[in-house]
Structure 1
Amino acid sequence: MLVRWVIQTRQPFTVVEHPAFRALIEATGATLPIKTADTLSNRIKEEFHSRRAYKKEELARSSQTLALSLDVWTSENQIAIMGIIGHWISPEFDRREKLLESTEIYGPHSGENLAEVVLRMLDELDIAPKLLTITGHNAATTGRSAIAYTTNSSRAKILKPFWDHTNSVSKACPTIVEDLSIYWSLDDLLNDVRNAEGDFEDVNIEIRDAMERGIQKMNKFARIMDDNLLYYVAPVLNQRIKSSLIVSQMSEQSSGVIVSQVREFLKKDYTPEPFVSCEVDHPRPAGMSETM
């Protein structure tokens, strides 16, 4: 109770050494359990670490994804403090909100300093892979912190290739000739994340499952493409591509079937026209022999 009283009423640790406080405790007939400021400080640290460990265990047990909101303010004694609150939904669909961090900020309120606080907290509580969003009250400071974190987070590492892919497609305004390569490169990205291969070896199971659902949805569009041979005919008619793209991306059997279908399609729809001579027989003038 003494530790809680000191924390909640914001008493100085030296209060337990003050003669008036000791006299008050003795007047009640109780024994002062903590007699020095150093002992009180150690007890508070023990209480903090105990509650921190419980919070970490609670997050591991009850959260799959997590959103953060944070703010920075200056206390009455002119100390800069940053607070971070976690928001998540438990497996029982209960909304949870917990204070995850409240710490002094050393140095300027720059995005880099704030990001360092966020990163340290994410690492201590082992929740970085669960992070969805960061919301800050002040865009000039906490907003930069969120950006600084996002730039360095594993989630950004996953999303950046998809952003680059989408951005390049939007700028290029591709024709039907490029449709297959666009689809297959996106399919390769999704599969790499789902299988935790290449640059995505450290991806957690939740993100891999999300990619699996994305692949399932994309496959619906792939079946539509497969039913329309024109998506395969277009690159084959391109002199720079021909059948090389299909052969490189599909199995030998599948590519052979597609190339054969394309050839049959082209023979059927583009049959050779009968030869028509451009020479015209003109009537011979009267009195002109054939040898003239």
Structure 2
Amino acid sequence: MASCELSFEFFPPKTADGLDKLRATRAQLAALNPKFVSVTFGAGGSTQQGTLDLVVEMKRDGLEAAPHLSCIGATRESIREILKHYREHGIRHIVALRGDMPSGMGEIGEFRYASDLVEFIRAETGDWFRIEVAAYPEYHPQARSPKHDLDAFARKVKAGADSAITQYFFNADAYFRFVDDARALGVEVPITPGIMPITNYSQLLRFSEMCGAEVPRWIAKRLEGFGDDRESIRAFGLDVVTDLCERLLDHGVPGLHFYTLNAAAASRAIYERLRNKD
């Protein structure tokens, strides 16, 4: 665990109370010395200002902060302006995504794929940014096939990505197979597994349905059996996700990227379990 690099994902809160909670969460997780933290970017750039404000604040507090940047519905000029703002604030790490089309938006914009965005960032800014891209071990829900999705991932790397973060998963073999298949295509960048702590069953099912992550039947059935017993759900979730992380670490993954949902307790508990097993 000592050699494993940690990173954490946050989202821009919509309220002052939410921002206060996030600052407390960030302080707790900063104590774990993450390599970086990332901040999400709403559909169609709906949280653009909130994302910028957060990454600037986090950088000021000594964290390497990587804003998400989605290109769906965007123009080259709008992306150019965002990149300019990040450069002006000394931000040198970015997570480049296609993103989701917000409801009511009819135009896909000037970028069709994340690879187009990566290529544009490189053309506009050279090597200024370290660029992360997304990877899908169980393949993107909108992909025509696993092969099509893997080829799309390889194109993002070829366009200039430095590394990748996966969608969360609970089947380690899916991740191992994805990495092997990517290596077979000549993709050599680090592929960091995304980790989703389990704290709420209905929330987990909702998120997983939206993003295409599979919740194995045995996990779903156990969680379903706990009903409204939140403590049992958290305890079981801690066991399951810690075991997953242990297996990943045993295989030498480059790091662990936690989807925190702006809360610290579950990620910290997993970290403490892993550290105590060293």
Do they fold alike, i.e. is TM over 0.5? no
- Normalization by structure 1: what TM-score? 0.22
For normalisation by structure 2, the TM-score amounts to 0.22
Give 1 or 2 for the bigger CA radius of gyration. Answer: 1
| Higher RCO (CA 8 Å, separation ≥ 6 residues) | 2
